[in-house]
Chains A and B, each alone.
Chain A
Amino acid sequence: MSAVSYSQRGQSRRRSRHAFTYFWQGVVAILLIAVFLMPVYWMITTALKTTADTFAVPPVLIFQPTFEHFRAVYEEGSVAKSLVNSLIVAISATALSVLIGAPAAYVLARFNFRGKSDLWFWIISNRFISPIVVALPFFLIARDLRLLDTHLALILVYLTFGVPLVVWLCVDQFRAVPREVDEAATVDGATIWQVFFRINLPLAMPGIVVSAILAFIAAWNELMFALVLTRAEARTAPVEAANFMTGFGIRWGPMMATGTLIVLPVVIFALLVSRNLVRGLTMGAVK
Chain B
Amino acid sequence: MSRQRVNWPAISLIAPAVIVLLVIGIYPLLFALDISFRQYQLTKQYLGTGYVGFQNYVAVFNDPLFWQSLLRTGQFFLLTVPLQVVFGVLIALFIDGVRWRPLSFLMRVLLVVPIAVTPTVVGLIGRLLFNRDFGFMNYLLSLFNIPPVSWLGEPLPAMLTIALVDIWQWTPFVALVMLSGLSMISQDVLESGQLDAGRGWNLFRHVQAPYLLPGLTAILILRTADILKLFDMVFVLTRGGPGVSTELVSVYIQRVGFRVFDMGVASAQAILLLILCIVLSRGYIRLFYREIEA
Contact = CB atoms under 8 A, between A and B. Distances in A.
B180 interface: yes
Interface in A47-64: 54-59
Contacts of B14: 103-104, 107-108
A31 to B, nearest CB: 11
Contacts of A87: none
A43 B128 contact: yes
Chain A interface extent, by class: 35 or more
A224 B17 contact: no
Interface string A100-126: 110110111011010011011111111
A25 B99 contact: yes
B81 interface: no
Interface string B90-128: 010010011110010011111111111111111111111
Nearest to A33: B110
Contacts of B139: 57-59
A42 B128 contact: yes
A132 B69 CA distance: 14
A181 B89 CA distance: 42
B112 A43 contact: no
Contacts of B16: 99-100, 103-104
Interface string A235-261: 000100110110000101001100100
Nearest to A120: B292
A152 interface: no
Nearest to B232: A223
B139 to A, nearest CB: 6
A201 B270 CA distance: 39
B229 A242 contact: no
B128 A252 contact: yes
Nearest to B195: A1
A223 B21 contact: no
A217 B121 CA distance: 14
A175 B111 CA distance: 29
Contacts of A108: 14
A95 interface: no
A28 B91 CA distance: 10
Question: Which interface residue of A58, A135, A141, A252 has the most chain B CB atoms within 10 A?
Answer: A135
B133 interface: yes
Interface string A25-52: 1101100110111111011001000000
Nearest to A192: B9
Contacts, number: 301
B124 A245 contact: yes
Contact of B231 (A32, A131, A159, A196): A131
Interface residues of B, number: 97
Interface string A252-287: 100110010011001101110011011001100111
B254 interface: yes
A138 interface: yes
B55 interface: no
B278 A125 contact: yes
B115 A193 contact: no
A128 interface: yes
Nearest to A260: B121
A128 B277 contact: yes
B273 interface: yes
Contacts of A35: 168
Nearest to A158: B24
A231 B202 CA distance: 58
A55 B133 contact: yes
8 contacts: A25-B97, A39-B114, A108-B14, A130-B228, A193-B13, A223-B119, A244-B124, A250-B127
Interface of B: 7, 9-10, 12-14, 16-18, 20-21, 24-25, 27-29, 31-32, 35, 91, 94, 97-100, 103, 106-129, 133-134, 136, 139, 142, 168, 171-173, 176-177, 180-181, 214-215, 218, 222, 225, 228-229, 231-232, 235-236, 239, 250, 253-254, 257-258, 263, 266-267, 270-271, 273-274, 277-278, 280-281, 284-285, 288-289, 292-293
Given A39-B122, A130-B273, 8 more contacts: A36-B110, A130-B250, A139-B257, A191-B9, A193-B9, A221-B120, A245-B239, A278-B177
